[in-house]
Structure 1
Amino acid sequence: MVSDAHPTPPPGTGDRRPFTLSAFRGLRFDPATVGDLGTVISPPYDVLDADTVRDLEATNRRNIVRLILSRRFERPYLAVRARLLKWREKGYLRADDDPALYLYEYVADGTTVRGLIGLAGLRTEDERVILPHEDVMPGPVDDRTVLMRTTETNLEPILLVHEGTERLRALISDAAVDDPSAQFVALDGSVHRLWAVADPAVVDAIGVELAGTQALIADGHHRYAAYLRLQAELRDPDAPDGTSPWDSGLALLVDQRDHPLHIGPIHRSVGALTMADVSEISADRDDDFATFPDREAAFAALVPATAEQSADSVAFVVSDGRAWAVLRTKRTSPVDASVLHEVLLPAWGVAEEQIGYHHSLDQALHTTARQPGIVVAVHPPTVAQVMETAAAGVRMPRKSTSFAPKPRMGVVMRDLHDA
């Protein structure tokens, strides 16, 4: 459970440092030079597809995708650093004069989300202050580490969720009474508002309310791992705790009770595997593998199967883009993705490099049109399952969750030189 109470540190881990979310001089796009702010923001880098990127760049050449998107030919991101410096020189990006916490509200898909953007003090996992719930992949961690090391900038906040106190909610509501510092509509129709909370008394009061909180990493496990790696590599070892710019990372903190996010699925594609392979292995394992004439029939069959699921079994829709099936196997974990990664993929002889991760089933199926393989539709865990798993110190397989709706990148950034 994610709560405001101070958890008891595990034996041998020492005292728990408080959760901190510090004010900073936000780096923001200036509408006087870039135009409509709704044209320069973007979804997170790891959910972008080629069509979306083309649309964003065609609408505004100063869109944040030109800084955050992983382009292998640009590593070690010297071109991004040069572009970032040029944008600051030309006034496209400006740092605010005074440090602030930023109250960020967005409305997407009929859901309103409101949270605080600030610098989260980095904590080790054994302190039980900032809780990861998924494993990470070395490639993306290295990629984000290189980007942040080269640019010395946090371009994308990680997303944290917690349960705030009533006093914290009141402070946030009071801040939202004033006129926003920025208000705009993104290209996808989502509505965004931003307030700079710069009053030191209010910032201090928020800090008091947050000190005992326990936050879950909802989105940004690879970026948080990169924060920790950069801290270990670059902070001055003689600097007091919390005084190095590498001791904190940009984060958006959302109260899950006040503005609940929901969890969407992340599906898997598996290259160099056929439906015949899965059918044969399923028979050997005594898994049930039932074929269906089309996608609609397979998912229609999955609905009653899902409703009947208990501690005994779990079902997945499997397809190669032409044939469709429902595979039912013994449940070994309450999280479907864990059953897939810990039991089925090893049984199928699948290596990590064969696996792709996709936020939509259509996107996953598109991979089978380019190269042979199958797609596995994965049912997401509940928020309660994620929180309980993280509080117990257990990691789910990477890409088990997709909290939504996601914040947009480019609303507020942090240059480590803007003290």
Structure 2
Amino acid sequence: MAEILPFKAWRYNQEMDQAIESLTSPLFDVVSAKQREALYQNKFNSIHLSVPLGDDPADHAAHTLQEWKSEGILAHDPLPGIYVYYQYFRLTGSDKEFCRKGFICHIKAYDWHEGVLLRHENTIPSAVNDRIELLEKTLLNTSPTHGLYTDSEFELERYMDEAIQSPLYETEDYQGVRDVLAVIHDHDVIRLFIDKLQDQQVLLADGHHRYEGSLEYRKKRMAQNPGHTGMEAYNYHLMYLTNTEADDLRILPTHRVLQQISLTDEEFLEKLREYFVVTPKEDVYELNEVIVGKNWAFGLYLSGNAYKLRLKPEIHPLIDWPVPQEVKALDLTVMHYFIFEKVLGIDREAQRDYPGLSYVRNFTACVSQVDSGKARLALITNDVSMEQVKRVCHSGAIMPQKSTFFYPKVICGFLFSSIKENEFLTADSACL
């Protein structure tokens, strides 16, 4: 079902390869303002293409790209390939070194209704619009989104393991993660990768905004092209694919932070007690621990005071959103329905782009924002399991926005892929 293709990546030239670590950058939706300012100081850093500066950032990126191509800053790889990408990392509290294994390729940008590529969470509209404009002006994928395929026999790993022994790049990124990139050129091996994916659905793990940007651009070009065949470059998207069966696939929780609410603390707590058992806690740093492994349990840090929230079980059936049971069972559905909609009066659609609501992965950062007065409250949640992601995807429904944080994030700058017709590689031109 999923059609993938090798591609000829645009990469920094050989002289600049030696400084590749200084040319990489975080993804557009995780890079901080402080990181941006530091990265912008390097005129060749990849952030100038992924998060461009200026009053017309997309035009600025397009100009920069053309300049880098003309001056040879970026070079087009001469041979088509599938790019193997390994990320070695550790998690807090564990001595184990994990390794997430995957590969980067072009994949057709399937519309959601086609049932080939399945999403699991909502997007924020303003972020999608930004990605559409950037893609339209540059015709460049500056970073891969993250998709999941299933291979219980781990058939592709042997070829990836072999390729990674001869890396193109090996760096340490801003997350403290060791990133290694290699490439497979062998046509027979590439065919194995294509065949493995052709009967599969792909779950979109990370990069919903960038994927929707590609999808909307494809729709626009299809409408403009009466001779549309489905093989044009605008039909494709850059994706990093990893195996759902791998033990080193990690999903971290994403907490919610609100700058302001219209209720007093006492009013807010009183309304919460209609739905939750509210238990005060002496130490805010206990909140992570007291909710672990418990369904529908959250930590609340409100104006400097800590509480454990646990939904009253008999209340759960009151959720009347038109979603399957797989979605109703999620912690974040409980949070967004009972706390955001019922207690705070923010309806489901308004939550998607609600001003003053931010999504923060780091627990300590949540506490700091409340302590500093930048935020009124933080809601701490558990992580989502891979099995829950699968169940939701296959149900055809979606989770609340920012439900998952697949860790680590891929980085930008190792390679770029073009969807300009004269730079794009079809199956025929790749001799596949």
TM-score range (shorter-chain normalised) is 0.7 to 0.9
d(CA) in 2 for partners of 1:358, 1:189: 18
Letter in 1 for 2:67: K
1:337 paired to 2:332: yes
Q: CA, structure 1 residues 281+217, in 2 after alignment: closer, same or farther (shift >3 Å)? A: same
Unaligned runs of at least 5 residues, structure 2 = 91-96, 317-327, 425-432
Deviations 1:323-358 (A, max 9, x none): 211222235332111111122201122353242111
Deviations 1:151-193 (A, max 9, x none): 111111100112125433333334345x223333335543222
**Partner residue, 2:427:** none
Q: Where in structure 2 are the equivalents of 1:9-408 lying within 5 Å?
A: 18-33=1-16, 35-58=18-41, 60-69=42-51, 73-75=54-56, 77-109=58-90, 110-164=97-151, 165-177=153-165, 179-186=166-173, 188-235=175-222, 236-241=225-230, 243-258=231-246, 260-273=248-261, 275-283=265-273, 285-300=274-289, 302-303=290-291, 306-307=292-293, 309=294, 314-320=296-302, 322-330=304-312, 332=316, 333-347=328-342, 348-350=344-346, 351-352=350-351, 353-354=354-355, 355-368=357-370, 369=372, 371-408=374-411
Deviations 1:132-163 (A, max 9, x none): 00011211111111111111111111001121
1:322 Cα offset (Å): 1.5
Contact conserved, 1:261 with 1:405, CA < 8 A, in 2? no
Q: CA, structure 1 residues 246+365, in 2 after alignment: closer, same or farther (shift >3 Å)? A: farther
Instruction: Give the stretch that moved more between structures: 21-30 or 162-171.
Output: 162-171
1:395 Cα offset (Å): 0.6
d(CA) in 2 for partners of 1:240, 1:263: 38
Unaligned runs of at least 5 residues, structure 1 = 1-17
Contact conserved, 1:321 with 1:365, CA < 8 A, in 2? no
TM-score of the aligned structures, taking structure 2 as reference length: 0.83
d(CA) in 1 for partners of 2:364, 2:66: 38
d(CA) in 2 for partners of 1:404, 1:286: 32
d(CA) in 1 for partners of 2:50, 2:267: 39
What is the identity percentage for the equivalent residue pairs of Structure 1 and Structure 2?
Answer: 22
Instruction: Give the stretch that moved more between structures: 111-120 or 43-52.
Output: 43-52
Contact conserved, 2:146 with 2:239, CA < 8 A, in 1? yes
Deviations 1:97-126 (A, max 9, x none): 122111112212232122111101122323
Contact conserved, 2:52 with 2:60, CA < 8 A, in 1? no
**Partner residue, 1:7:** none
SS in structure 1 of the partner of residue 29 of structure 2: helix
C-alpha RMSD over aligned residues: 2.3
Count of matched residue pairs: 390
d(CA) in 2 for partners of 1:145, 1:126: 20
Q: CA, structure 1 residues 278+204, in 2 after alignment: closer, same or farther (shift >3 Å)? A: same
Q: CA, structure 1 residues 218+400, in 2 after alignment: closer, same or farther (shift >3 Å)? A: same
1:205 Cα offset (Å): 2.5
SS in structure 2 of the partner of residue 346 of structure 1: helix
d(CA) in 2 for partners of 1:127, 1:239: 17
Q: CA, structure 1 residues 135+162, in 2 after alignment: closer, same or farther (shift >3 Å)? A: same
d(CA) in 1 for partners of 2:275, 2:188: 64
SS in structure 1 of the partner of residue 156 of structure 2: helix
Contact conserved, 2:149 with 2:242, CA < 8 A, in 1? yes
Q: CA, structure 1 residues 65+275, in 2 after alignment: closer, same or farther (shift >3 Å)? A: farther
Contact conserved, 2:287 with 2:380, CA < 8 A, in 1? no
d(CA) in 2 for partners of 1:361, 1:237: 52
Letter in 2 for 1:282: L
Contact conserved, 1:74 with 1:80, CA < 8 A, in 2? no
Contact conserved, 1:275 with 1:374, CA < 8 A, in 2? no
TM-score of the aligned structures, taking structure 1 as reference length: 0.86
d(CA) in 1 for partners of 2:229, 2:17: 39
SS in structure 2 of the partner of residue 268 of structure 1: strand
Contact conserved, 1:230 with 1:246, CA < 8 A, in 2? yes
Letter in 2 for 1:364: C
